[in-house]
Amino acid sequence: MAETAHGHVGSTGISNVKLGMWAFLGSECLLFGGLISTYMLYRGRVTGGPRPSQIFDIPFTSVSSFVLLMSSLTMVLAVSAAHKDDDRKTNLWLTVTALLGATFVGGQVYEFTAFYKEGLGFSTSLFGSSFYTLTGFHGVHVTVGIIMLMSLVGILKRSSVPGKKAEVVEMVGLYWHFVDIVWIIIFTLVYLIPV
Amino acid sequence: MAIIERPTPVAPVVVTPTETYGLLKRPVSSTGWRSWVFTVDHKKLGIMYAVTAMFFFIVGGIEALLIRLQLAAPNGKVLNADLYNQMFTMHATTMVFLFVMPMAAGFANYFVPLQIGARDVAFPRLNAFGFWALLFGGIFLNLAWFLGGAADGGWFMYAPNSGPVFSPSNGVDFWALGLQIAGIASLTGAINLIITVLNMRAPGMSLMKMPIFTWMITVVQFLLLFAVPVITVALFLLSFQRNFGARFFDVAAGADPLLWQHLFWIFGHPEVYILILPSFGIISEVLPVFSRKPLFGYPFVVFSGAAIGFVGWGVWAHHMFASGLGPVSVAVFSVATMAIAVPTGVKIINWTLTMWGGKLWFTTAMKFAIGLIVLFTVGGLSGVTHSIAPSDTQQTDTYYIVAHFHYVLFGGAVLGIFSGFYYWWPKVFGKMLNEKLGSWNFWLMIIGLNLTFGPMHILGLQGQPRRMYQWTEARAGEGFFNLAFWNLVASIGSFILTIGILFFLINVWVTSRNPQKAPLDPWNARSLEWMTSNPPKEHNFDVIPTVHHLDEFFHRKYEEDEATHTMKQITTAEELIAEQERNADKHIHMPSPSYWPIVLAFGLPVITFGLIYSYLIAVVGGVIVLFAAYGWSLESSTAPESDFENPNSSTELVKHG
Amino acid sequence: MSTETVETTHQKEHGMSDAGYIRIALILAAITALEVATYYVDFGPLFLPALLIMMAIKFVMVVSYFMHLKFDNKVFSFLFYAGLVLAVGVYAAFLATFHFFIR
């Protein structure tokens, strides 16, 4: 009984870390909500430079959105393998997820470069400032996720994860899926709904 | 690792860890400065929070005195206009973010685990990180004083005042980034305490058997969890505008300056409940104890607290009635604001009825609690006058507003905090604060604060704007409404208030030199934090209590007499605790100290410093953060069994890091 | 002893098979294709509601199945949806004060 005082599992039998992660994600909803609202308010305010419809490349962004969506599948497969203690498969799916994520971020870098060349800088217009801020924040979240995934692959190989391995993978998974659902919203609100 | 032998928990035996994690060996000291700097003990962190908050209280207090000195007489010469702007901006910022919030965090850290019968919080290292991030963020904020001037746009930093045109110094950059760090601290603290309350309660303690202080803290942590990200967004937009040329508040580019106001107050209004609810919690503990009655209508106090927290999300725009929101928005937010007075009124009624018919014991803690009820009601009533939009339009940006929020914050939040000091001092330090000095402390503060903030109602209704750095004799008016007279009264009052607070500091000093120990249960208290030694042992409880009642500790001491239906004492605190000691748990593992929280927290101001001065420094900060993050995640929060070396064969050991 | 109970609950929580996950992913992919289609095909007045509904379906599917919220303890749902509902409510009101929805 004494162990419950500090362990990873509290008096309800629920994992502390998992509760903490969900609370954090609840909090993140208000972070991205604020950024998305700022964008929605400002998306049509273009005093100079291109308008959204002039530069968005829907086929390209659709493909990178699809890549990110599928990375959620590979992530969930990694979690599933981790719960079955299948280290080889866990590592495989984690690596694939990280690669898909990197593809998405690479696409974003390409997109940003292309937009910049077409005349949309960070200071060009309110649309530019709010677009780069919103998608940039998301991109940073994805990048942090990739770093966590790659670290996880390295750590799992050395098998020195404190606590339960499967739980650590699951936590990174929750974060990763959250980043994905944020993009589901951004893709619709930012790209697909015309101003 | 240090292993503490029972029953003398002050004799640490230091042993070397057999295993290391990451790159550094775990810290091992259990005495000296290292035991504080690397601690993850929620009690030590609670004290550190409170000491930090007290320091910033004094800093903010000195800023307030300078403001009052400047306004005491016409054509004040104490500060120039620029310095005056910095002074009121930093006074508010310091008091809100670096005094009341950390002080509440200190109380919460110390008492929530004790009140719910836990041995520590859910995430001990995160807890330590939160404290250090707050301290470093606070220091970073105030560094601006020495590096070209502090922030000067008012504590809510409206655009365009916050822009480089009107605030050319780095002050606003320091302000935005410093608050960002403090925000990270609040967020991690909130997650930690929420999970602690959800998951670490002693067996039998259902949510509706939780002490009311813990309940109010829980509501506050949810408010923080959801409000902090909103200010984070706002501060990022501001920093991006100032440092990277974004256009968010640039009207020339078609921007809406109201964007900042909305984001700030969506955070800012929950924030005012974040400031007041902990004090509501404290006096809801104090009043029943010193009225010798249970809290009247406990469920109502709980639900009204939650209701305040919830409705608090729908009233933010009442800070913006004068900004041209449009009639519909004004009407909606006006009605919502009136509605929030209802749960607050419920609380006041409950406190009053708790005292009604009780055997009142006027200790200093009780006096401060009653002071809160009275003065908060005054501030609450002037608050209701703001909810009426036409009246608010008249009052906006006058001293009337200053009077209102000082009554609710000083008369409310701060008096509650002082009530908590007197009530819990014997618990934390094992000594009673001097009641006689406490009485001086209380009365001087009450007189001082009414003299300071009372006249501000008059000043404001006569039209003295807030943030005005000088006033002139020629326009001061005559008779009863003479601005000169009331400004002088307010300034004198602020010095009386200061003397009152000095009495507290004297009291602390006198008490610390007094060898007399406090009795185990000096107030005949009701909740679980008193069911352990003073101060509590490192592991809080020898036996994790099983809870059957609200006010569990009281119900263990008292039983209802069948015949007379009165409560009669069946045992004493001393006996209860002696019994716990006899049945003490063996092998209690406590979370181990760690270097990483302070290292990680230290990386944050390095990054922000670099963002202002040189990206190279920011990169260094980033490396520190990354390094610490790896160290942190590769280290388990409690050192494993193999990490302990048994210095002797005794089985009765309490292990900690 | 507490770890054992956790293990058994885990098995219950992760009742979904890998094939199940792939099915969910296929549905998500199909909806995405439909979403992109709205950009090329004129859906008339249904365009906006259709897009928002599809977005919501994808969101809820990922949260419920990939993030296990459907199978997990209700506390997790509370923590997350409290934040989500609050965010939607507050920011919708925020945009409404700018007359965003009636422009």
| Spatial CA neighbour of B269 closest among B465, B408, B464 | B408
Domain boundaries, chain B: 41-255, 269-291+299-511, 519-577
Class of the CATH domain delimited by A2-192: mainly alpha
Q: Confidence class of residue B22 from pLDDT cuts 50, 70 and 90?
A: very low
Do A77 and C18 make contact, defined as CB atoms within 8 angstroms?
Answer: yes
CB atoms within 10 A of CB B252: 7
Is pTM beyond 0.90? Reply is yes
Shortest Cα distance from A74 to chain B (angstroms)? 24
Query: Pseudo-torsion of CA B523, B528, B532, B533, nearest 10°?
Result: -40
Q: What is the mean pLDDT of residues B339-361?
A: 94
CA–CA gap between residue A191 and residue A194 (Å, rounded): 7
pLDDT of C2 above 70: no
To test the contact with chain C by mutation, choose from A76, A104, A165 the residue with the greatest count of C C-beta atoms within 10 A, namely A76
CA–CA gap between residue B387 and residue B340 (Å, rounded): 10
For residue B589, the chain A residues in CB contact (below 8 A) are 2-3, 5-6
Give Cα separations from B612 to B159, B169, B175, C13 (angstroms): 20, 11, 11, 48
pLDDT for residue A164:
75
What is the residue type of B224?
L
For residue B226, the chain A residues in CB contact (below 8 A) are 26-27, 30
- Same fold across B41-255 and B269-291+299-511: yes
> pLDDT per residue over A105-148, tens digit each?
999 999 999 999 999 999 999 999 999 999 999 999 999 999 99
Residue contacts between A and C (CB atoms, under 8 Å) = 131
> pLDDT per residue over B574-588, tens digit each?
999 999 999 888 878
> pLDDT per residue over B505-551, tens digit each?
999 999 999 999 999 999 999 999 999 999 999 899 999 999 999 99
Do C21 and A23 make contact, defined as CB atoms within 8 angstroms?
Answer: no
Taking the Cβ of residue B198 and every Cβ of chain A, the question of whether any pair is shorter than 8 Å is answered with yes
pLDDT of B655 above 50: no
Percentage of chain C modeled with pLDDT above 70: 84
pLDDT for residue B10:
36
pLDDT of C6 above 70: no
> pLDDT per residue over B58-86, tens digit each?
999 999 999 999 999 999 999 999 999 99
Question: Using the 8-state DSSP alphabet, how is residue A122 labeled?
Answer: T
Do A155 and B253 make contact, defined as CB atoms within 8 angstroms?
Answer: no
What is the residue type of B364?
T
Class of the CATH domain delimited by B269-291+299-511: mainly alpha
Write out the two tokens for A98.
């990280």
pLDDT of C37 above 60: yes
To test the contact with chain C by mutation, choose from B224, B329, B335, B337 the residue with the greatest count of C C-beta atoms within 10 A, namely B329
Query: What ipTM is given for this predicted complex?
Result: 0.93
Do A34 and B233 make contact, defined as CB atoms within 8 angstroms?
Answer: yes
> pLDDT per residue over B90-108, tens digit each?
999 999 999 999 999 999 9
Do B229 and A34 make contact, defined as CB atoms within 8 angstroms?
Answer: yes
> pLDDT per residue over B581-638, tens digit each?
998 888 788 888 889 999 999 999 999 999 999 999 999 999 999 999 988 888 876 6
Greatest mean pLDDT among A43-52, A101-110, C7-16: A101-110
Nearest neighbour of C14 by CB, restricted to A32, A83, A181? A83
Write out the two tokens for B524.
């005949």
Q: Confidence class of residue C15 from pLDDT cuts 50, 70 and 90?
A: low
pLDDT for residue B425:
97
Do A188 and C2 make contact, defined as CB atoms within 8 angstroms?
Answer: no
pLDDT of C74 above 70: yes
Q: Which residues pair with B325 in a beta bridge?
A: none
For residue C87, the chain A residues in CB contact (below 8 A) are 29-30, 32-33
Residue of chain A whose alpha carbon sits nearest to that of B640: A162
pLDDT for residue B634:
82
Long-range contacts of A85-89 (CB under 8 A, 24+ apart): A85/A165, A85/A166, A87/A156, A87/A159
pLDDT of B647 above 80: no
Shortest Cα distance from A115 to chain C (angstroms)? 20
Nearest neighbour of A180 by CB, restricted to C5, C62, C81? C62
Residue of chain B whose alpha carbon sits nearest to that of C83: B226
Q: Tell me which of B156 and A4 has the higher pLDDT.
A: B156
Query: Pseudo-torsion of CA B266, B269, B274, B279, nearest 10°?
Result: -170
Taking the Cβ of residue A15 and every Cβ of chain C, the question of whether any pair is shorter than 8 Å is answered with yes
pLDDT for residue B612:
94
Angle at B551 between CA B546 and CA B552, to 5 degrees: 25
Angle at B463 between CA B331 and CA B69, to 5 degrees: 125
What is the residue type of A158?
R
CA–CA gap between residue B279 and residue B277 (Å, rounded): 5
pLDDT of B447 above 50: yes
Interface of B with A in 535-554 (CB under 8 A): 539, 544
Q: Confidence class of residue B28 from pLDDT cuts 50, 70 and 90?
A: low
Taking the Cβ of residue B124 and every Cβ of chain A, the question of whether any pair is shorter than 8 Å is answered with yes
pLDDT of B493 above 80: yes
Do C3 and A62 make contact, defined as CB atoms within 8 angstroms?
Answer: no
pLDDT for residue A109:
97
Nearest neighbour of A174 by CB, restricted to C28, C67, C73? C67
Give Cα separations from B299 to B181, B302, B525, C43 (angstroms): 36, 5, 20, 53
Percentage of chain B modeled with pLDDT above 90: 82
Domain boundaries, chain A: 2-192
Percentage of chain A modeled with pLDDT above 70: 91
CA–CA gap between residue C29 and residue A67 (Å, rounded): 10
Taking the Cβ of residue A28 and every Cβ of chain C, the question of whether any pair is shorter than 8 Å is answered with yes
What is the residue type of B190?
A
pLDDT of B14 above 60: no
> pLDDT per residue over B352-391, tens digit each?
999 999 999 999 999 999 999 999 999 999 999 999 999 9
pLDDT for residue A163:
61
Q: Confidence class of residue C10 from pLDDT cuts 50, 70 and 90?
A: very low
pLDDT for residue B398:
95
| Spatial CA neighbour of B608 closest among B600, B598, B618 | B618
Do B123 and A10 make contact, defined as CB atoms within 8 angstroms?
Answer: no
Interface of B with C in 232-271 (CB under 8 A): 256, 258, 262, 266
Fold for B41-255, please state it: Cytochrome C Oxidase; Chain A (1.20.210)
pLDDT of A162 above 90: no
Shortest Cα distance from C72 to chain B (angstroms)? 16
The tally of CA atoms less than 13 A away on the side-chain side of residue B188 is 20
Q: What is the mean pLDDT of residues B452-480?
A: 91
Write out the two tokens for B646.
């048994």
pLDDT of C1 above 70: no
Taking the Cβ of residue B314 and every Cβ of chain C, the question of whether any pair is shorter than 8 Å is answered with yes
Q: Confidence class of residue B124 from pLDDT cuts 50, 70 and 90?
A: very high
